[in-house]
């Protein structure tokens, strides 16, 4: 890792059951990869100390698909409690690992248009030990993931437990939040239709 850059851990949230998709969203095809493999490869091109993937539903099946990557795989037994619980679970791991991480960059497995250049930009804009939060802008003026939290928030991140993720922290510490605009529209793939539309737009079939 570049000694001039902060010590950051990337956390990829991939624990959900994808009930609206009809099959594990993490394993849906994205080009020649699965969505989760694509997300991991994006993270591997970012200069960070560790990449953590949080699994839950369909853990064994998904783990088989990604085990070739140099990442830390955590199984969240309480994945049904939502994104917040997965963030809390990963943050507890970071704290207990004594990695001296200065921040956690939370990403999702279902945002395939987020690239490594953008994640690197977030880290470049981050100043450790200043209580900073760097969030991503959405077109409806909301802000959210990918989001980078300074270590000062780790204790509060471990207390998250619902499906709202870390929205409450973004609201509570709004004056410390810096918002970046990604190079492309920030899209979550929440339904099969969302996925098929985005995949077709990015991978033209002959």
Task: For residue range 66-124, list pLDDT tens digits in order.
Answer: 999 999 999 999 999 999 999 999 999 999 998 899 999 999 999 999 999 999 999 99
Architecture of domain 8-202: Alpha-Beta Complex (3.90)
How high is the pLDDT of residue 3?
55
The DSSP bridge pattern shows strands 103-108 and 143-150 to be antiparallel
Q: CA separation (Å) from 38 to 10, 84, 142?
A: 15, 23, 25
Closest CA to 176 of 155, 145, 150: 150
Average pLDDT of the chain, as a whole number: 91
Q: Is the pTM of this model over 0.85?
A: yes
Calculate the CA dihedral of residues 41, 46, 50, 53 and round it to 10 degrees.
-40
Of 131, 122, 74, which Cα lies nearest the Cα of 102? 131
pLDDT at site 4: 65
Residue ranges in the chain modelled with pLDDT below 50: 1, 206
Q: How far, in Å, CA of 167 to CA of 84, rounded? A: 9
E strands in the chain: 8-14, 29-30, 33-34, 50-55, 72-75, 103-108, 133-137, 143-150, 177-180
| Residue 106, both tokens | 């939370």
Could you report how far apart the first and last alpha carbons of the chain are, in Å? Answer: 41
């Amino acid at each position: 890792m570049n000694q001039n850059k902060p010590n950051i851990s990337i956390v990829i949230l991939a624990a959900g059951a994808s009930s609206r998709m009809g099959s594990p969203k993490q394993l849906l095809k994205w080009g020649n990869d699965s969505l989760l493999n694509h997300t991991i490869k994006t993270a591997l091109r970012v200069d960070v100390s560790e990449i953590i993937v949080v699994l839950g539903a369909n853990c064994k099946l998904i783990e088989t698909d990604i085990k070739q990557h140099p990442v830390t795989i955590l199984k969240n037994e309480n994945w049904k409690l939502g994104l917040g619980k997965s963030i809390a679970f990963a943050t507890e791991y970071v704290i207990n690992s004594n990695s001296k991480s200065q921040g956690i960059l939370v990403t999702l497995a279902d945002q395939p248009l987020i690239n490594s250049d953008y994640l690197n930009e977030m880290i470049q804009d981050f100043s450790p030990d200043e209580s900073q939060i760097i969030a991503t802008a959405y077109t409806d003026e909301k802000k959210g993931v990918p989001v980078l939290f300074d270590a000062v928030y780790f204790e509060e991140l471990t207390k998250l437990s619902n499906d709202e993720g870390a929205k409450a922290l973004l609201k509570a510490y709004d004056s410390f939040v810096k918002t970046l605009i990604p190079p492309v529209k920030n899209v979550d793939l929440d339904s099969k239709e969302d996925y098929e539309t985005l995949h077709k737009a990015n991978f033209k079939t002959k």
